[in-house]
Chain A
Amino acid sequence: MKRLLAQPVSAFIISVGLILVTAYAVSHFPRSIVAFMLFQASILVLYFARMPGWVKGALAAATLGVLMPLLGSINGYYLEIAIQVGIFVALALGLNIVVGLAGLLDLGYVAFFAVGAYTWAVFGSPQANLFLPGEHFPLAQGWFFLFLLVGVGMAAGAGILLGLPVLRLHGDYLAIVTLGFGEVIRVLANNLDKPINFTNGPKGITPISRPPIFFDPVLRAIGINPDPNVIYPLYLYFIVLAIVGVTVLVNRRLEDSHIGRAWEAIREDQTAAQAMGVPLVRSKLLAFACGASFAGTVGVLFSAKQVFINPESFTFMESIGVLAMVILGGMGSIPGAVLGATVVTVLNLQVLKGLSLWLNELRNAGTTIFGWSLQNLPTQLEPAKYERMVFGLILVLMMIFRPQGILPARRRHRELTDGAGEPH
């Protein structure tokens, strides 16, 4: 397999074949979790295949841009999973900048996600009427796109706000303070309902506007009657896809630049980095701000997708979850962060839930194993409830057998040319 993937032609045939076969399987067995996971795995094979970059890009675009939405229209749940995966991929990529590249352990990352989510939630719902004069809110749906950028700005600001007091800390001390920061944001969201009601406290905010279907006339013109229940998941999926695309692009450009190299130098040896001319304060703040900004923009999207948010969506466990994705994938590695986020999300939403459903079915059918009825099985024994335990187990196993992550960061190998060196 490895040898075949190293040849461009056979690699092309294999990866296209796998993607088509698994996609066919999904369309044929729309309820089969295994089929869908094989489909996801075939995308991973595409990543490993040795082909020219543009061929890979085109195949990935076709798979994610055409096949995935088609499959999603067969089983809507897959689209939901894909959207969630996308959200977590963007989060993991953002955290990867802070933790993976700059080496600043941030345990409160979900705070920036919350900042983005609340930014749109407050102004994209009637909530803002409670503290601003006039009945201007919710804002028109079109504002959603502007707020994707506002979310970036707000979260980046929050990132700098967090960065400033913790500049002198590293390692464990930094981790504790960022953990505290994450909790502060959540507690603020929980309690800023009085004396002035900004966040509506633990009750949360609803209904939050969704992005406008601006292409509605086009759909009607080509004879499709848009049913919001079908269109919205597809629409959100494409927005997530676009955000993830931009995130990956920005990440790659940052990583492969003097800014990314300065971050890595700080991670390797902060004193030496500063002695070589890297301004520590500015570089660290930039890392916090860049990392946070991705969380901010997906936060805006998250609140629009959920229509309802409350502080419970932004707990410490979410921060840990995103960190686990980065570590699982490989710190400082962009493909690693993408894969880590995908694996963890799929594990949570599909594998464990699927096992629970299966166990329930067996129980209800009265299946017996060696004469012992499954109905005697305590109801607490439900794989979905063991999410964190399975997680912990995977992380421990990873630390023992592959501490560098599934797809560790590879050093770029670059030929030096004389005169006009051309980086690629």
Chain B
Amino acid sequence: MAVLLEARGISKRFGGLTALDNVDFTLDEGRIASIIGPNGAGKTTFFNVFTGIYVPEEGTVTFRGTPVLGKRPDQITALGICRTFQNIRLFSNMTAVENVLVGMHSRIPLGLWDVLGRGPRWAREEGALWARAGELLSLIGLRAKANEIARNLPYGDQRRLEIGRALASRPALLLLDEPTAGMTQGEARGLMDLLRRLVRELSLTVLLIEHNMRVVMEVSDRVTVLDYGQKIAEGQAAEVQRNPRVVEAYLGRKRYAAGSAGG
């Protein structure tokens, strides 16, 4: 299986705080992978490095062999990496379909003169955009709410709309930052089914940051665990779950009282 994304020796510091400490990470095409870790472990920072929001002090990131670091976020989106945000960041005063249309921006071959002239080329392209937006909205189950203002959508719909907006840029790699946060178990399950479908139908690769362990264990082909900016474990879900360092990171070190056999 071809390597899609490769990060080598990534370090990112904020003043005295080391958010990422020499992290290596490889992602194969067509997978669903997860990054887990306690709060403040550096997961979102990792995403921000991939999407050009932060530039790390050290390390390299390549996407399909192309170096990513130093590129602007919009250029990285054009390369084929797109993301959602931990705290939903929709364009809240625009409609659902407009949100999706903005997501297509990097794939629109029209310029200022096309827009002002509104020739046949513009009509054809714009028509195709709207048609595709309709398809995407159907895919995420929001077709009927296309003209609703994003801010007025229920929470779960907003989460899905964010995924739809990211999909609009035709990414090869979709980065989802806690996509099921605040969802009920049922909604989360529905979202996971959607993700599996996307991977199958759109030949997409998905990288998740997730706190919902049930989701992580169920859907991930591979799990990476970060703690204090370091990668402490990596592998299949079940292996990682049993790894003592992971348990320690989440639950804390066992305290042995003198004479006792532990607890």
Contact = CB atoms under 8 A, between A and B. Distances in A.
Interface residues of B, number: 50
B38 interface: no
B89 interface: yes
Given A253-B115, A275-B73, A278-B74, A423 B130 contact: yes
B115 A254 contact: yes
A305 interface: no
Contacts of B83: 275
Contacts of A258: 101-102, 104-105, 108, 110, 115, 126, 129
Contact of A421 (B108, B115, B130, B165): B130
B220 interface: no
Contact of B112 (A272, A286, A414): A286
A50 B232 CA distance: 66
B97 A416 contact: yes
B94 interface: yes
Nearest to B78: A277
Q: Which of A257, A271, A422 has the most CB of B within 10 A?
A: A257
Contact of B105 (A278, A412, A413): A278
A280 interface: yes
A257 B112 CA distance: 10
Contacts of B112: 259, 286
A154 B115 CA distance: 22
Contacts of A275: 51, 53, 73-74, 77, 82-83, 85
Interface in B125-146: 126-131, 133-134, 137, 143, 146
A397 interface: no
Given A257-B126, A258-B108, A276 B77 contact: yes
A369 interface: no
Interface size class of A (residues with CB under 8 A): 35 or more
A414 B126 CA distance: 13
Nearest to A413: B147
A254 B149 CA distance: 21
A261 interface: yes
Contacts of A257: 110, 115, 126
B205 to A, nearest CB: 18
A278 B51 contact: no
B45 interface: no
B170 to A, nearest CB: 10
A277 B106 contact: yes
B127 A423 contact: yes
B6 interface: no
Nearest to B128: A421
A168 interface: no
A279 B76 CA distance: 11
Interface centre among B78, B108, B128, B168 (most CB of A within 10 A): B108
A264 B169 contact: no
B149 to A, nearest CB: 6
Of the candidates A261, A269, A417, the one having the most CB atoms from chain B within 10 angstroms of its own CB is: A261
B150 to A, nearest CB: 9
Interface in B161-202: 165-166, 168-169
- Greatest chain B CB density within 10 A among A253, A277, A411 is at A277
B94 A261 contact: yes
B131 A419 contact: yes
Contacts of A269: 89-92
A184 to B, nearest CB: 28
B74 A279 contact: yes
Given A253-B118, A259-B115, A414-B97, A277 B105 contact: yes
Nearest to A274: B73
Interface in B78-124: 78, 82-83, 85, 89-95, 97-98, 101-108, 110, 112, 115-116, 118, 123
A273 B115 CA distance: 20
B105 A276 contact: yes
A269 B165 CA distance: 14
Given A272-B89, A275-B51, A276-B77, A265 B102 contact: yes
A414 B130 contact: yes
B131 A417 contact: yes
A423 B127 CA distance: 6
A396 interface: no
Interface of B: 51, 53, 72-74, 77-78, 82-83, 85, 89-95, 97-98, 101-108, 110, 112, 115-116, 118, 123, 126-131, 133-134, 137, 143, 146-147, 149, 165-166, 168-169
The 7 tightest CB contacts between A and B, nearest first, are: A277-B106, A421-B130, A277-B77, A268-B91, A421-B131, A416-B134, A272-B89
Given A257-B115, A273-B102, A276-B165, 5 more contacts: A257-B110, A258-B126, A273-B91, A412-B95, A417-B131
26 contacts: A253-B118, A254-B116, A258-B101, A258-B115, A258-B129, A264-B93, A264-B94, A265-B94, A268-B90, A268-B91, A272-B91, A274-B74, A275-B51, A275-B77, A276-B168, A277-B77, A277-B169, A278-B74, A278-B105, A411-B94, A413-B147, A416-B130, A416-B133, A421-B128, A421-B134, A423-B130
